[in-house]
Amino acid sequence: MTSRSDIVDLIDAADAARYGAKAARLARLSKAGLPMPPGFAISTADGARIASQGAGALGPALDVALARLEEARGRRLGDATDPLLLSVRASAGEGASGAAAILNIGVCAMTEAGVARRVGLSAARELRLRLILSFAPVALGVDVDALEQALSQTPAEALAGAPPSGAAPSGDRAAELARQIAALEAVVLEETGAPFPATPREQLDLALAASARGWASPRARMLRMARGDDPEAGLGFVVEAMALGIGPGLCGAGSADSRCARTGAPLLSGRWLAQGQGEDAALGLRQPTPLTGHGADTLESAEPGALAALAEAVRGAEAAMADAVRVEFTLENGAVSLLDAVTLPRGARAAVRIAVDLAEEGRLTRAAALLRIDPRLLIEHLHPTVDPAAPREVIGRGLAASPGAAAGPVAFSADAAEVFAARGEPAILVRMETGPEDIRGMHVAAGVITARGGMTSHAAVVARGLGAPCVVGVGDMKLDPEAGVLSAGGRSFREGDVITVDGGAGEALAGAAPMVQPEFSGAFATLMVWADAHRRMGVRANADTPADARVARGFNVDGVGLCRTEHMFFEPERITAMREMILADGPDARRAALARLLPWQRADFVELFVIMRGLPVTIRLLDPPLHEFLPRSDRDLSDLAKAMGVPVAKVRARAAELAEINPMLGMRGCRLGVTVPEIYEMQARAIFEAAVEAAEATSAPVVPEIMIPLVSTNREMTLLRERIEAVAEAVREERERGFSYKVGCMVETPRAALRAEEIAEGAEFLSFGTNDLTQMTYGLSRDDSGGFMRAYLAAGVFPEDPFHSLDVEGVGELLLIAVERGRRGRPNVNLGLCGEHGGDPASVRFCELAGFDYVSCSPYRAPIARLAAAQASILARRDRDDGAPGAA
């Protein structure tokens, strides 16, 4: 029976699955030779046996372990002259946090004199008092309130360590502590019917048995489940010699951090409490003091040598754990003992700095450093963020549609946003929802808030592309543009009043909140270089304008994966020509209006190609329905008719003719190209002429990728490809220059995914538009789902917003079908994803596993996608290596 007991010296307890997480950590520290009290570990399997049979279930194995510990410490448990005192700390299995520690086991009436020889009588009795107060509730079930009422002074005074100035002499204090001990032991006898355990071995056995049984109880299992811990996790134990923290000389306890939790820079910081034990410094019984500084109570002032020894131990703990750490320590007569070292809690910027530093110091591989960073943490490097220490007056909550934060005056229209921008005061554009006509205002605004909309609504998509913070779906916000009043959070704001949009938290705040500015250099830049070296999959940017392309190039993308050409048409002069085309009678009149747009479109494409310098540029032909280019109100329609010199009845008739009940499923995308071919002909000509001019200007190859949107049938693809090829041939003849190009399509309907084999026969690339594909697969409106999405997420209907993170079960299966069939139709077809999921780390991981060639996302999410792609490649290689024959 005893041979089954699994008790080892602490240095040998590195297996967290067997001995629990705390024991495994302490084993690593022990192996590094750090100053630690000797001890041993009891396995989680033995913990379960103790719960059912008591500590006697361990048999002689516990005696052997105690004997080794006594020899290592040079003291014996229960010795009357120089006794060994012990601590029992829980070591929970993976996925759970442990129970409270029991300290000072071994101090009792028979050993008090021996402890007093070491630390003094008052300190010895204080240790005994502390043992009863912690042991009796846990191990004996005594009511805590009854113990506290038995004290003739408050618990804070009883546990205050050294007596305060003006207190009774030490002899009087020792006598008072003796009376308190007697009172507590009387409560134990009254409540349990038995005296407090009189021998150290009885204390140890009861402490182990009570902790194990408490852990295994149904109540404890339910509490673990409520915390999100593993209810079935086992409990082992760490039994160590006590580092007292109370006694003569420099004594105390505290915690120390190896690095700054905000920046990640190496910096020893923390706090300690003189004449304290365990977590006294965190409990607030007395005011703890900083480790460093010029105050009289700091450790640096009290004993510089002890601080130096602690700093060396902390550095050793960081090396042993291969991570920044927070250590728990005790000082006993100036000697430092480490009791634990856990991973340092840290901010996003610190996480990057720490991972890079550890890799450069050789403590981590670069691949391991990359895997340590949650890609979403990079948001704090890429955008201004609200200072976490700043007060917040929240006036509205919605969906966090585009990260970052900005403060500025409220603007209720694109015109107002432009006026504020002209004054040098970028505004917060506040709208019920945005449309294409708001683009110019969004370009100059500092941030955007809308009352309606979801994660892939117009405001969300455009704001992400611009890198502007955006919150959508703020349902409790009331907007009265006519009166110029925004009502939110019980307050009213007029145009020009200052508010803050926090796109990371999905909140609108009153006033101008303090900001933390982005940082692109240093550790962040190094991490990005490592990410690019490890990733297989390309990362392109969704860039609609040359300005977007310049931002994307600055983020070191592999090209443009989606250029939405409609966003080029909303400049004032261009929108007029576009509206003339829409109102034109017949193809010739349409071509005349489009001829005015051609030079602008061509110039944009030339600049785009020059900026990207030989990198692939995928240009999507016009996608939205034509009614989006017309004004909406009767007043604006009348103004348009007057400006164009046509009857207002004609403008209204044309607007009514273009109106659709469900425009997202109406005449848009390739359907425009089929029914109004002049539009795509003009765009194709602008692309090819720009390719010729850009190649001449840069001497770099320009191979534009022309993408046809919303394809559902092979005939749509072949018909429009033939027209594009005809334009290409015409441009070659006119310019007397050859050029190459590719034609592909955007797979965003379920039918296109299912028919990908035949579509790929005529398409050199397939780019999956997962915004629309998700919308059509679910039957969800991406613009309107924000109204109920939070309720759905709260109820667990969806694990995540499917417009934010790819639905791998439904939409993902369609993608896998399309990948397989598309490559069957054209083995070398290039596969990309250009929906908003391209910047979501989990979705990027899926694309790596599915074998995509690239993902494309907004420029400001490109670093996130680059890191996620690197992590996906590292994990995929690891999985392949683990599955290879002979792999360990």
Give the residue extent of every domain in the chain. Answer: 2-241, 252-346, 384-516, 535-625+668-881
Q: Please provide the DSSP assignment of 628-679 as one string.
A: GGS--SHHHHHHHHHHHTS-HHHHHHHHHHH--SSGGGSS-THHHHHHSHHH
The pLDDT assigned to 260 comes to: 93
The rounded distance, in Å, linking the Cα atoms of 484 and 355 is: 49
At residue 223 the predicted structure's pLDDT band, cuts being 50, 70 and 90, is confident
Q: At residue 341, what are phi and psi to the nearest 5 degrees?
A: -145, 120
Which of 191-205, 391-405, 678-692 is the most confident on average?
678-692
Cβ distance 262 to 347 under 8 Å? yes
The rounded distance, in Å, linking the Cα atoms of 516 and 498 is: 18
The answer to the question of whether 316 is labelled as a binding residue is: no
| Contacts of 407 by beta carbon, 8 Å cutoff, 6+ apart | 428, 446, 498, 499, 500, 501, 511, 512, 513, 515
Which of 90-99, 626-635, 699-708 is the most confident on average?
699-708
The mean-pLDDT minimum among 196-200, 228-232, 508-512 falls in: 228-232
At residue 281 the predicted structure's pLDDT band, cuts being 50, 70 and 90, is low
At residue 96 the predicted structure's pLDDT band, cuts being 50, 70 and 90, is low
The rounded distance, in Å, linking the Cα atoms of 123 and 131 is: 12
Cβ distance 77 to 86 under 8 Å? yes
The answer to the question of whether 120 is labelled as a binding residue is: no
Q: How far apart are the first and last CA of the chain?
A: 34
The answer to the question of whether 662 is labelled as a binding residue is: no
Whether residue 694 has pLDDT greater than 60: yes
The answer to the question of whether 769 is labelled as a binding residue is: yes
> Across residues 841-845, what is the average pLDDT?
95
The answer to the question of whether 71 is labelled as a binding residue is: no
* pLDDT, greater one: 783 or 685: 685
The pLDDT assigned to 815 comes to: 97
833: three-class secondary structure by DSSP: strand
Q: Sort 52 into a burial class: Cβ within 10 Å, 0-12 / 13-18 / 19+.
A: exposed
Whether residue 167 has pLDDT greater than 50: no
Cβ distance 770 to 833 under 8 Å? yes
Bridge-based pairing state of the strands 447-450 and 470-472: parallel
Whether residue 600 has pLDDT greater than 90: yes
The pLDDT assigned to 159 comes to: 44
- Catalytically active residues are 458, 834
Span 777-810, pLDDT tens digits: 999 887 777 778 888 888 999 998 898 899 999 9
Handedness of CA 165, 169, 170, 174 (dihedral sign): negative
Span 394-405, pLDDT tens digits: 999 998 988 899
346: three-class secondary structure by DSSP: coil
The rounded distance, in Å, linking the Cα atoms of 92 and 615 is: 53
Q: At residue 767, what are phi and psi to the nearest 5 degrees?
A: -115, 120
The answer to the question of whether 620 is labelled as a binding residue is: yes
The pLDDT assigned to 347 comes to: 87
The pLDDT assigned to 164 comes to: 37
Span 639-653, pLDDT tens digits: 778 877 888 888 888
Q: At residue 337, what are phi and psi to the nearest 5 degrees?
A: -125, 130
- Please give the CATH topology (third level) of the domain spanning 252-346: D-amino Acid Aminotransferase; Chain A, domain 1 (3.30.470)
Pick the CATH number of 2-241 from 3.40.640.10, 3.30.70.1900, 3.20.20.70, 3.30.1490.20: 3.30.1490.20
Cβ distance 564 to 623 under 8 Å? yes
Whether residue 168 has pLDDT greater than 50: no
The pLDDT assigned to 856 comes to: 97
Do the two domains 2-241 and 535-625+668-881 of this chain adopt the same fold? Answer: no
Burial letters for 337-365: b for 16+ Cβ neighbours within 10 Å, e otherwise? bbbbbbebebbbbbbbbbbbbbbeeebbe
Whole-Å CA distances, 619 to 90, 669, 845: 61, 13, 25
Whether residue 349 has pLDDT greater than 60: yes
> Across residues 591-617, what is the average pLDDT?
94
Bridge-based pairing state of the strands 289-290 and 76-77: unpaired
| Contacts of 214 by beta carbon, 8 Å cutoff, 6+ apart | 99, 138, 220
Whole-Å CA distances, 425 to 382, 503, 514: 22, 19, 16
Q: Please provide the DSSP assignment of 360-416 as one string.
A: HTTSS-HHHHHHTS-GGGGHHHHS-EE-TTS---EEEE-EEEE--EEEEEEESSHHH
Which CATH code for domain 384-516? 3.50.30.10
According to DSSP, residue 438 is labeled: G
Bridge-based pairing state of the strands 507-510 and 83-84: unpaired
CATH class name, domain 535-625+668-881: alpha beta
Whether residue 660 has pLDDT greater than 80: yes
Cβ distance 404 to 378 under 8 Å? no
The pLDDT assigned to 657 comes to: 84
The rounded distance, in Å, linking the Cα atoms of 742 and 751 is: 23
Q: Which two tokens stand for residue 135?
A: 């042991």
> Across residues 274-285, what is the average pLDDT?
73
The pLDDT assigned to 239 comes to: 95
Cβ distance 359 to 368 under 8 Å? yes
Cβ distance 472 to 397 under 8 Å? no
The pLDDT assigned to 143 comes to: 87
694: three-class secondary structure by DSSP: helix
Span 712-748, pLDDT tens digits: 999 999 999 999 999 999 999 999 999 999 999 999 9
The answer to the question of whether 591 is labelled as a binding residue is: no
Residue with tokens 């692939």: 616
Q: Of 764, 748, 771, 741, nearest to 822 (Cα)?
A: 764
